[in-house]
Structure 1
Amino acid sequence: MERAVVQVTLFGLLLVLASTLPNKPFISFFHINSTVTSRYATTVITSRVANRMDDSKEIEFQVRIPKNAFISKFRMFIDGQWYDGVVKGKEKAQQQYTEAVSRGQSAGLVSSVGRTLEEFKTAVTVAAHKKVTFELTYEELLKRKLGKYELQIHARPMQPVKDFKVDVYINEKAGINFIEIKGGLSTNALSLKPVSSCFQAWVYFYPTEDQQKTCDGCGEQGMNGDLVIVYDVNRDSSLGDIKTSAGYFVHHFAPSSLSRIPKNVVFVIDQSGSMRGRKMQQTRIALIHILNDLAEDDHFGLITFDSSIFHWKRELVQANKENLESAKIFARNIQDRGATDINAAVLEGARMLNAHPREGSASIVILLTDGDPTSGVTNLELIQSNVRRDIADKFPLYCLGFGHDVNFEFLEKMSLQNNGVARRIYEDSDADLQLKGFYDEVATPLLTDVTMIYNGGTNLTQTNFSQYYNGSEIVVAGQITDNDIETFTPQVVAISRDRRVTFSDTNATMEYLGTDFDSHIQRVWAYLTVKQLLEKELLFSGPEKENVKKEALELSLKYSFVTPLTSMVVTKPLGENTDVLHKPKEGETTQGHSPVLSCKL
Structure 2
Amino acid sequence: MKVERGAAYLPCRLLEHLYSIYSSHTYSLLSVLLGSTSQLVSKSVFAQDDWDIYSFHINATVTHRYAVTTITSRIANRMNESKETEFQIQIPKNAFISMFRLTMDGQVYDGIVKTKEQAQEQYIRAVSHGQSAGIVSSVGRTLEEFKTSVTVAAHKKVTFELKYEELLKRTHGKYELQIHARPMQPVRDFKAWVHFYPTADQQKNCDSCGEEGMNGDLVIAYDVNRTSDGYFVHHFAPSSLPRIPKNVIFVIDQSGSMHGRKIKQTRTALLRILNDLAEDDFFGLISFDSQIIHWKRELVQATGPNLEGARQFVLNIHDRGSTNINAAVLEGARILNAHPRDGSASILILLTDGDPTSGVTNLDTIRSNVKQAVAGKFPLYCLGFGFDVNFEFLEKMSLQNSGAARRIYEDSDADLQLKGFYDEVATPLLTDVTMIYVGGTNLTQTNFSQYYNGSEIVVAGEIIDNNSKQKVTFSNTNDSVDPSVSDGRLQRVWAYLTVKQLLEKELLLSGPEKEKVNKEVLELSLKYSFVTPLTSMVVTKPEGEISEIHHKPKERKEPPLLPQSQSAKSIYSKSLRNSPSTRKQQ
TM-score of the alignment, normalized to the shorter chain, above 0.5: yes
CA distance in 1: counterparts of 2:555 and 2:168, whole angstroms: 19
Residue 592 of structure 1 deviates from its aligned partner by 5.9
Matched, 1:280 2:263: yes
Output aligned runs, 1:55-204, within 5 Å.
Answer: 55-101=81-127, 103-167=129-193, 193-199=216-222
Aligned to 2:584: none
Query: In 2, are the aligned partners of 1:35 and 1:168 still within 8 Å (CA)?
Result: no
- Deviation digits for residues 385-408 of structure 1 (CA, Å, limit 9, x no counterpart): 111111011100000000011111
Aligned to 1:8: 15
Number of aligned pairs? 521
Aligned to 2:301: 318
CA distance in 2: counterparts of 1:162 and 1:409, whole angstroms: 46
Matched, 1:520 2:493: no
Aligned to 1:465: 448
Matched, 1:383 2:374: no
Output aligned runs, 1:537-552, within 5 Å.
Answer: 537-552=506-521
Flag the 1:565–1:269 CA change in 2: closer, same or farther, 3 A: same
- Deviation digits for residues 293-349 of structure 1 (CA, Å, limit 9, x no counterpart): 001111111000111110001111111111100000000110000111111110111
SS at the partner of 1:450? strand
Q: Runs of 5+ in structure 1 lacking a partner?
A: 171-179, 181-189, 202-241, 492-502, 595-601
CA distance in 2: counterparts of 1:590 and 1:477, whole angstroms: 39
Flag the 1:273–1:248 CA change in 2: closer, same or farther, 3 A: same
CA distance in 2: counterparts of 1:359 and 1:593, whole angstroms: 59
Flag the 1:593–1:163 CA change in 2: closer, same or farther, 3 A: farther
- Deviation digits for residues 23-45 of structure 1 (CA, Å, limit 9, x no counterpart): 42111111111011111100000
Output aligned runs, 1:163-562, within 5 Å.
Answer: 163-167=189-193, 193-199=216-222, 245-486=228-469, 488-491=471-474, 503-505=475-477, 512-514=483-485, 517-562=486-531
Query: In 2, are the aligned partners of 1:15 and 1:62 still within 8 Å (CA)?
Result: yes
CA distance in 2: counterparts of 1:121 and 1:466, whole angstroms: 40
CA distance in 2: counterparts of 1:243 and 1:475, whole angstroms: 19
Structure with more helix by fraction = 2
CA distance in 2: counterparts of 1:334 and 1:267, whole angstroms: 13
Residue 156 of structure 1 deviates from its aligned partner by 1.4
CA distance in 2: counterparts of 1:68 and 1:520, whole angstroms: 18
* AA matched with 1:577: I
- Deviation digits for residues 334-368 of structure 1 (CA, Å, limit 9, x no counterpart): 00001111111101110010101231100000000
- Deviation digits for residues 176-199 of structure 1 (CA, Å, limit 9, x no counterpart): xxxx9xxxxxxxxx9984333332
Aligned to 1:581: 550
Matched, 1:39 2:46: no
- Deviation digits for residues 262-297 of structure 1 (CA, Å, limit 9, x no counterpart): 000000000000000000000000000001100111
* AA matched with 2:490: I
Query: In 2, are the aligned partners of 1:34 and 1:168 still within 8 Å (CA)?
Result: no
* AA matched with 1:8: L
Aligned to 1:183: none
CA distance in 1: counterparts of 2:458 and 2:480, whole angstroms: 17
CA distance in 2: counterparts of 1:442 and 1:243, whole angstroms: 34
Residue 482 of structure 1 deviates from its aligned partner by 2.3
SS at the partner of 1:91? helix
* AA matched with 1:426: Y
Flag the 1:101–1:429 CA change in 2: closer, same or farther, 3 A: farther
Query: In 2, are the aligned partners of 1:244 and 1:250 still within 8 Å (CA)?
Result: no
Q: TM-score normalised to the size of structure 1?
A: 0.83
Residue 575 of structure 1 deviates from its aligned partner by 1.5
Residue 486 of structure 1 deviates from its aligned partner by 4.7
Identity of aligned residues (%): 71
Aligned to 1:221: none
Query: In 2, are the aligned partners of 1:244 and 1:521 still within 8 Å (CA)?
Result: no
Query: In 1, are the aligned partners of 2:499 and 2:525 still within 8 Å (CA)?
Result: yes
Q: RMSD over aligned Cα, in angstroms?
A: 2.5
Query: In 2, are the aligned partners of 1:455 and 1:487 still within 8 Å (CA)?
Result: no
Matched, 1:591 2:561: yes
Q: TM-score normalised to the size of structure 2?
A: 0.85
SS at the partner of 1:455? coil
* AA matched with 2:219: S
CA distance in 2: counterparts of 1:13 and 1:430, whole angstroms: 23
* AA matched with 1:87: V
SS at the partner of 1:519? helix
* AA matched with 1:64: Q
Flag the 1:102–1:380 CA change in 2: closer, same or farther, 3 A: farther
* AA matched with 2:534: L
CA distance in 1: counterparts of 2:504 and 2:195, whole angstroms: 31
Q: Runs of 5+ in structure 2 lacking a partner?
A: 17-32, 197-205, 207-212, 565-586
Flag the 1:449–1:510 CA change in 2: closer, same or farther, 3 A: closer
Structure with more strand by fraction = 1
Residue 14 of structure 1 deviates from its aligned partner by 1.3
Residue 94 of structure 1 deviates from its aligned partner by 1.3
Query: In 2, are the aligned partners of 1:269 and 1:368 still within 8 Å (CA)?
Result: yes
Query: In 1, are the aligned partners of 2:115 and 2:534 still within 8 Å (CA)?
Result: yes
Flag the 1:509–1:283 CA change in 2: closer, same or farther, 3 A: closer
Residue 54 of structure 1 deviates from its aligned partner by 1.7
* AA matched with 1:153: I
SS at the partner of 2:273? helix
